[in-house]
Structures are given as structure tokens and as C-alpha cells.
Amino acid sequence: MRPYPALPSTNPRQSVAVRLGMAMAVILAVVLLGTIFAANKYGQDAADETFDRLLRGAALQIAERILVTDGHANVDLPVSAFELLSLARADRVFYRIIGPDGKTLTGYGDLPMPKDDKGHADQTYNTRYKGADVRAYLLRRQLAERFVSGDVKVIVAQTTTERVALARSITAQAVLTIAAAGIVLLLLVVVVMRIALRPLARVERTILERDVNDLSPIDIAAPAEVAVLLEAINRFMRRLDRRIEAMQNFVADAAHQIRTPITALRAQSQLALEEDDPEVLARLHQRLHERTVGLGRLADQLLSHALIAHRADMAVSQELDLRRIALEAEREIRAMSDEYIQVELPDEPVMIKGDPISLREAIKNLLNNALKHGKPPVILVVTPVSDRHACLLVRDCGQGIAPEISARIGERFASNGIGPDSAGLGLSIVSSVASSHGAVLVRRSTGDGFEIGLEFVVNAS
């Protein structure tokens, strides 16, 4: 089977895989930025904790060597304290010991104290000294000797070069690890998406490999998300199948029914051309006229039937007053005929949901049948049956529909042949309108005639 060329699309194609991939990339970028921020903070905190322990250890060792001799506080600086701080080779170390009297006992006398001194608590703080950022630890030791009492403050400070380098190293390793994991995750997502979207490719192949006339449902295994799409496609194909079948049946039936009167017209017109007898010629002219009228009526009803079939699927139901629809149909019939139609309507509105055009066509066909096949008077009646139902009936004083025709109501071309009085489509149109409106086609004999019409469900107010 030759594949059909793809039709140009007015909408740009958007790949689901690309859109999901872009969304994942954006999410990954946001996660990566958050990770960088969190890793930087974690790295800084870890580096500060590590180096702050060294500062505290050095300060404790110095504080242990503060002694009171001859009534004065003296400091014997331990070498081990500075060896501990020398582990950070790129950093400089500063210290300051302040006696109970507030004077510097030894060290850098201008090394800053914390701006928010917490009194008797030890504390770590950041400051600048000698043009560099430093981290300092303040340790307080209480002296209670006979001649010396009060707090001795030990301040040990260190530049931050090594701790910043350590924080950056921790951050970089964390970011690299997250980035590598993110890339692997993105690749896995791409692979998973390709696997997840394979059912769509199977659906595409199944549809493309089908015969153009095959509108049967697509039945293939698919995930729940794709099954929803398949169900929508199958519903559309069922609707399309019904429309195509109705169109094919209509075309076939119309072609068959039109062929008969056209053949008869051709034969009678040929006879009229060859006939010289005025009386015979007049009869032939009368037959030609009757056949032409019948053919015109057939064409009208074919168009009406096509309209009803189309609107059954396409028309949107509206809130309608059944009395107004009946009056509009009666006026259209009266405009084309001199026949008198009596109309009986209730005083209150009779509201239903439906298509006004289809309903008018049904009422017109009921009236035409009564005018042609029944006996006057013809009465168009709209009457509420109950709180939930209402009837639209056409009554006449004739004998009604023959049993064999009544049994075939709903079939197209139910009459025998196409004559000037019947095209065989009227009741089929009425039956189609009843079906599309959820109404019931009722017909019954009365004491002095026959009535036929539609019984509707009335909208709840």
C-alpha cells in the first residue's frame, strides 16, 4: 500500500522527549545551584570547625602555662601550641595574653578584641589584622590568687588562607560528585523516556500499516497513559465509521431511487415526442408533471434526510419551546400549500432540549404525510402529558398507516416505488429525529381518525 504524504502542519512540532529533557535539565541546574550553595556553606562550616579546634587547643595549652609568681601573672609560652597551629603552613599566627588589669602581658598588643564581647564566655570571631582576614579564639581563665585575681584573656588568631582553601576543596568535590550524578541521571532519564514512548511508535506504525478502509478499533497493549489516547482515537474512528457508513448507504439508496423516476421520465418524454394524438399527449404531459413533482419531492426529502443525519452528530441542543417550533413548521407548510391546518397549543411553555432545525423538518414531514394521505381536518397538537413528558401530535380523520408500512417505520424508502404522492423518506426522517432527541415515535388510531407524533422528556425546571 502506498503511504500517504504527510500534510504540512501549521503548528510547530514539539517533542515530548525534548520537553521532558529540557525540564529535567532545568531541574538539574536548579538542584546543582542549590547544591553549590549548600556545599559551600557546609565546606565553610567544616573548615571553620576544623581550624577552630586547632585555635582552641592552642589557647588551652597557653592558658595552662599562665602562672602567678611574686604577685604577678606570668606566661611561659609552650612551643607545642604553635606547632599545632603550624599545620596550616600558609597561614600566619598571632596571639595576645591580657592580664586581669587589662594590660597585655605578651603578644601582639594591638590584636583586636571581639566587637561583641560576651563577658565571661569564650568565643570565636572574625576580624582583620595587619591587612588580612583572621579568625580568632578568645579564652578566659579565672585567676584567684592572694595578690592576683580576675580574668586572664588568651587570644589566638590565624589568617584564613588554609581554611578558605579547605572549604573550596570540599565544595568542589561535592559539586563535582552531584554534577556527575546529575549527568548520569539525565542520561538514564533519556533512556527511560525512549523506552516509555515506544508504545506511541507502535500506535503510529499500526495506524500507518492499516488499509485506508479499516476503521476497526486499535487493540494493542499500551500503558495507561497511552491507552487514554488509544481510546480517544478509537472513539473518533467509531464516529467516523458511522458517518462514512451512513453516507455510503445514503448515496447508494439515493442513486437507486433517483434512477427509477428518471428512467420513467425519459420513457414518457420519448413517447410524448412521438405522439400526435392530442388526448394521449395530454395524458402523457400529466404523467410527466406528476413524475416531475414526485422527483422534486424525492430530492427535497433526500436533502432533508441528509441534513438530519448531519445535525444528529453536529448540532448542539438548545432550550426550546415546543409550541414555537410547531408554529414555525406550520407556517412553512402553509406558505407552500393552500391546505388548512388547525393548531392546538397549551397556554404554558413546553420546554425541551433539542435542535430546532431537525424538529421543524420532522414536523413538516408529519404534516405533509397527513395532508397527502389523511383526511381533513389536519390538527397539529402540542400537549403536556405529565410533569416529565410532552407530546407533539398530528391528527387527521383518515385510516392511518397500513400495518405493513407501520412495521417498517424508520427504514428509508419504505413505500413501493416513487410516486407523486410519496417519496418514502418522510417517516424515516421523523424516526431519525426521534432517535437523536431521545423521543418516542407514537402512532395510534382514534375513534374518528389517526394520530402520529413524538413524545419528549420535558426539561426539569
* 100-156 pLDDT tens trace: 888 888 888 898 888 887 667 788 899 999 889 999 999 888 877 767 777 888 999
3-state secondary structure of 378: strand
What is the distance between the alpha carbons of residues 426 and 405, in angstroms, rounded to a whole number?
12
3-state secondary structure of 411: coil
Element (H, E) at 94: strand 93-98
Domains in the chain: ranges and CATH: 213-314 (1.10.287), 316-457 (3.30.565.10)
3-state secondary structure of 247: helix
Instruction: Give the pLDDT of residue 263.
Output: 81
Q: What angle do CA 116, 121, 126 make, to 5 degrees?
A: 45
Q: How confident is the model at residue 305 (pLDDT cuts 50, 70, 90)?
A: low
Element (H, E) at 395: strand 389-396
The DSSP symbol for 212 reads T
What is the distance between the alpha carbons of residues 322 and 328, in angstroms, rounded to a whole number?
10
Residues pairing with 443 in the sheet: 452
Instruction: Give the pLDDT of residue 29.
Output: 83
**How many residues appear in the chain?**
461
Backbone φ, ψ for residue 7 (5° rounding) = -80, 140
CB atoms within 10 A of CB 425: 27
> Which tops the pLDDT comparison, 199 or 147?
199
CB atoms within 10 A of CB 458: 17
Mean pLDDT of 169-177: 85
Highest mean pLDDT among 73-82, 329-338, 358-367, 402-411: 358-367
> Is the pLDDT confidence value at 315 over 70?
no
Residues pairing with 339 in the sheet: none
CB contact at 8 A, 392 and 326: yes
pTM above 0.75, yes or no: no
CB contact at 8 A, 167 and 124: no
CB contact at 8 A, 131 and 110: no
Q: How confident is the model at residue 12 (pLDDT cuts 50, 70, 90)?
A: low
- Which candidate, 78, 98, 109, places its Cα nearest to that of 152? 98
Question: Distances from the Cα of 299 to the Cαs of 85, 218, 251, 285, 373, in angstroms?
Answer: 109, 39, 12, 21, 19
Element (H, E) at 322: helix 322-336
- Which candidate, 429, 433, 416, 409, places its Cα nearest to that of 301? 429
- Tens of pLDDT, residue by residue over 377-421, are 999 999 887 778 889 999 998 887 766 666 656 555 554 444 444
Instruction: Give the pLDDT of residue 343.
Output: 92
Question: Distances from the Cα of 68 to the Cαs of 81, 105, 269, 318, in angstroms?
Answer: 20, 12, 147, 106
- Tens of pLDDT, residue by residue over 89-103, are 788 889 898 888 888
Residue located via cell numbers 433539542: 354
The proportion of the chain whose per-residue pLDDT surpasses 70, expressed as a percent, equals 84
> Which tops the pLDDT comparison, 410 or 355?
355
Instruction: Give the pLDDT of residue 380.
Output: 93
Instruction: Give the pLDDT of residue 416.
Output: 43
The answer to which of 71-75, 345-349, 443-447 has the lowest mean pLDDT is 71-75
Question: Distances from the Cα of 75 to the Cαs of 97, 110, 137, 140, in angstroms?
Answer: 8, 18, 18, 14
Task: Report DSSP letters for 125-156, one per residue.
Answer: EEEEETTEEEEEEEEEEEEE-SS-EEEEEEEE
Q: In what order do the strands lie in the sheet with 440-446?
A: 341-344, 378-384, 389-396, 449-457, 440-446
